[in-house]
Structure 1
Amino acid sequence: MEIFTPQTPMPRKEEVKREWYVVDAEGKVLGRLASEIAKRLRGKHRPDFAPHVDVGDFIVVVNAEKIRLTGKKWDQKIYWRHSGYMGGLKLRTARQMLEQKPEEILRLAVKRMLPKNRLGHKLLKKLKIYVGPEHPHQAQNPKPLEI
């Protein structure tokens, strides 16, 4: 006697149809925006989500310099990196990051919400962040995404 067990169809990367979305970051809170972007990049909003396949969409973020932080985070939030040498710790506050690399604040927030493996690195490449309202991805016809 044969027992039939229906299987859940798994998406293959060749079959996935990806969309392009444009997000205006003006006045949006950093963490709330980053978590929604990470969810869309990963593909968790889709019914055919699989944790081992890249099924997410492309996200274009404009006006990254107009992002908002709550409380005293502009002066108290510290971004640190290390050169690898003795005493090579480099510290920057969120305000300094905004002056030097405003798009890096959002990129780091999203990066830290993605998986820490090869799939996470591939997902991060689908995030395009720009300072100002202009972006070079008009040919992809991105749809506006309200977050």
Structure 2
Amino acid sequence: MDRFSAFINSFLKKQYQSRWHFLYQKGWPHVRKNLAQLDRQLNHRCQLFTHNGWQQQAKELATIKHDQGDWYNFTTGPQAVNLHNFSWDHATEGLLILQRAQLAFYLHHEGWIWVCKNQEQLSGKLLSWPTETEDFR
């Protein structure tokens, strides 16, 4: 299972997961056309920060011990990133997935941020996330 599929399984409501898997199998342009609906389809593991979202994101990033992530720019598609060298324009919408931390950030161009965390990780249970060697679709 790749990282975007793991994001779908971990952070989207059950009733929307199969639809997103279908869109993803058809290719990034199909996903991109439907991303405006994503915020309404996130599950209880995601919390919206409409104010001070960048500070919350920085706080969450400070707690993780690795430096690799996957950036899904809504215009150009996915790319692997090093968090130490990574910066994004706050006017760009995107999805930052941190596989090892089972953490994701859905960044909106208006400045709000959804922070998605796998709460089961805190109790010792891990959801099925892909290994680091698996590539993007």
Length-normalised TM-score, structure 1: 0.23
Q: Which has the higher helix share?
A: 2
Length-normalised TM-score, structure 2: 0.24
- Higher gyration radius (CA): 1
Of structures 1 and 2, the one with the larger relative CO (CA 8 A, separation 6+) is: 1
